[in-house]
Structure 1
Amino acid sequence: MKNILITGAASGIGAATARLFHQQGWRVGLLDCNRQALAQLAAELGGAWNAELDVTDAAAVKAALADFCAGQGGQLRLLFNSAGVLRIGQFETIEPAEHARILQINVLGLINMTHAAFAYLKATPGAQVINMGSASGVYGVPELASYSASKFAVRGLTEALEIEWARHGIGVGDLMPPFVSTPMLNDQQVQAPVLRRLGVNLGAEDVAQAVWQQAHRPLVHRPVSLQFKLLYWAGQITPAWLSRLMMAWLSRP
């Protein structure tokens, strides 16, 4: 049973992943809150199953999972939690409601999806959950404070469930890319200093390839791009104060 259900599927990383897995012969399910873009992608992929969804609506999430998996023999090989939002800016200039929205979608939405998918994953040999993490979940990034907080939560949830769900035969891991050229990033009105210093060296297709690698050679955390792999593994052996010093330098105006 080679099927994948993708949140945030209508654009960016989600759409690139849907195209790649469809090309490889997987059955693809698409979920997104953008009805028009979702319908266009579904048509491009030969009428792929799709549903408009707000991942923060737990009841709607359960209904969407039930509908998709009903056509898949009650099984789900891979859940890709790709839905997410970003707001770059100094913390105090962003309204609390916007900070809350970032956490609700990036964290609560992911929890809703993963919780609702459990029974279908458990019924599927080799089932996996792949969460959209970030390099911002390794050390807090100035001017991405609430986004970083959400990705730290994703990292913690991934680590816990990777151990907890092993007894059910369900693999759990996340992807950790640095900045990726997607509409979510490119539509930002503010550019953080760290973004100017590190640059944007990844496209959505690069991360889709990492999803494919993760589906076949799972890791708990999969750093994406050579640049960040070096930073990530260096961070595992250097003291915390050195990581802070590096982030402070990268974030200088």
Structure 2
Amino acid sequence: MNTILITGAASGIGAATARLFHSRGWKVGLLDINHAALATLAAELGGVWHAELDVSDAGAVREALADFCALHGGQLRLLFNCAGILRFGYFEEISLEEHVSILQINVLGLLQVSHAAFPYLKATPDAQVINMGSASGLYGTPHMASYSASKFAVRGLTEALDLEWRRHGIRVGDLMPPFVRTPMVDSQRFTPPALKRLGVNLQAEDIAQAVWQQAGHSQVHRPIHWLFKLMYWSGQLSPPALSRLLMAWISRD
């Protein structure tokens, strides 16, 4: 049975992914801290399983994973770690509490959900984890420093677990898009120069399609959009100084 559990499922990329996989016959589970929006989406999809969840609460994470997977013979085909938060702005003008929250949700939350999911993934043939990475995990991005740091952590965790969990038959990869038109981006009060220069050329549905592609043809890192693919592959072949120059140009006021 094809099952997918999605964190951060109530809106944006998570919701678009839920709609796509549900339309293609997968059993979908929805997790998000926004209960009202989550319940609305679950009803739209015909009453699919859903639970309000703060991914930074380790006990609640374990309980939610156990509840969903118990409905499917203790198995989980695909975990999509999509929950995350973002704050644009100058590093020193963002409160320390906000920086900490970004790291707690984007890194600790992802780690806790993955840890709790492991026994169910291990019990499932062709199991997979897809993490929501970012283009900002390629080179540190000004005006989103703690978010960028969190995505470097996601990248490192993805690479390590993909190697470590091969012995269990579990594939691990991440998606690396540039800016995506989502409520999280649209709600920001500060517009980074990088966003002004690059624009927002992707919709949540584009990332949902990338999740679908990743589920069928796994790779460790999946850069999204032709411009970032060019940046990504040039970064693999060129010295770090060139990446720094490119980021400095993109982020220039």
User: TM range, normalised to the smaller chain?
Assistant: over 0.9
- Which letter does structure 2 place at the counterpart of 1:23? S
Flag as ranges the 4+ runs of structure 1 deviating above 6 A. Answer: none
- 2:193 is aligned to 193
Cα-to-partner distance string for 1:127-170 (whole Å, 9 max, x where unaligned): 00000000000000000000000000000000000000000000
Distance, in Å, in 1 between the alignment partners of 2:48 and 2:136 is 32
Distance, in Å, in 1 between the alignment partners of 2:225 and 2:244 is 21
State the shift of 1:231 in Å: 1.0
Cα-to-partner distance string for 1:199-227 (whole Å, 9 max, x where unaligned): 00000000000000000000000001111
Cα-to-partner distance string for 1:94-129 (whole Å, 9 max, x where unaligned): 111100000000000000100000000000000000
Distance, in Å, in 1 between the alignment partners of 2:224 and 2:210 is 7
Corresponding residue SS for 2:237 = coil
- Which letter does structure 1 place at the counterpart of 2:116? A
- 1:246 is aligned to 246
- Which letter does structure 2 place at the counterpart of 1:157? L
Cα-to-partner distance string for 1:15-66 (whole Å, 9 max, x where unaligned): 0000000000000000000000000000000000000000000000000000
Count of residue pairs brought into register by the alignment: 253
- 1:235 is aligned to 235
- 1:150 is aligned to 150
Cα-to-partner distance string for 1:182-202 (whole Å, 9 max, x where unaligned): 000010000000000000000
Corresponding residue SS for 2:219 = coil
Matched, 1:73 2:73: yes
Distance, in Å, in 2 between the alignment partners of 1:226 and 1:3 is 30
Distance, in Å, in 1 between the alignment partners of 2:53 and 2:221 is 27
Matched, 1:105 2:87: no
* Runs of 5+ consecutive residues of structure 2 not aligned to the other structure: none
- 1:126 is aligned to 126
- Which letter does structure 2 place at the counterpart of 1:90? Y
Distance, in Å, in 1 between the alignment partners of 2:191 and 2:204 is 19
- 1:46 is aligned to 46
Corresponding residue SS for 1:80 = strand
The two structures have a TM-score, normalised by structure 1, of 1.00
* Runs of 5+ consecutive residues of structure 1 not aligned to the other structure: none
Provide the alpha-carbon RMSD of the alignment: 0.4
Indicate the percent of aligned positions where both proteins have the same amino acid: 72
Distance, in Å, in 2 between the alignment partners of 1:33 and 1:95 is 22
- Which letter does structure 2 place at the counterpart of 1:160? A
- Which letter does structure 2 place at the counterpart of 1:236? Q
State the shift of 1:248 in Å: 0.6
- Which letter does structure 2 place at the counterpart of 1:126? D
